[in-house]
Structure 1
Amino acid sequence: MKKLIPLLGLLIIMATLEAQNGKVIDTIYANEQKTVSLFFPGPIRQGVTGASNFAFSFNREKAQYFGLLQATPGEESNLLVVTQDGGIYSYLLRYSQKLERLNYFIAGSESIGNERTGPTILPHQELSSIDLDTIPNSDKALDYPKLCSQLLRNPRPFDQIKYKDGVTIRMTKSIYYLNEVYVVFEIDNDSQIDFEINTLNLYKINGNKKRKASYQELLLSPIYQYKVPLMVPKGQQVQFVFVYRKFTLGIREKLLVKLEELNGARDVLVKRR
Structure 2
Amino acid sequence: MTRFILFYSLVFSWLSSQAQAVKPKLRHSSTLSAGKQNTKPPILIAALTPMTVKPVQPIRPTPPLHAQTTPSTIGTKPFHTETKAEQASAPPVWVANPALVASIHTKPYLLPIDRSAVKGSYPLGISDRKTTHIIFPATIKEFDAGTDYVLAQVPQTITNVLRVKANPKASAFCRADSGRETNMTVITEDGGFYSFLVRYQEEPEILNINIANNLTADDQTSRALGINRSAAITFTLSGTTNEGTGLVKSDVAYRCERIIDRKPFIRNIGASKMRVTNLLTGIYVADKVIYMQFAVRNDSQIDYEVDFFKFYVRDKEVMKRMAAQDVELKPYAQYPETLRMLRAKTERSCVYALPLTTLTEDRIIEVELYEKNSGRHLRFQIEADVLLLAKPL
TM-score normalised per structure 1 = 0.48
Structure with higher Rg: it is: 2
TM-score normalised per structure 2 = 0.34
Q: Larger % of helix: which?
A: 2
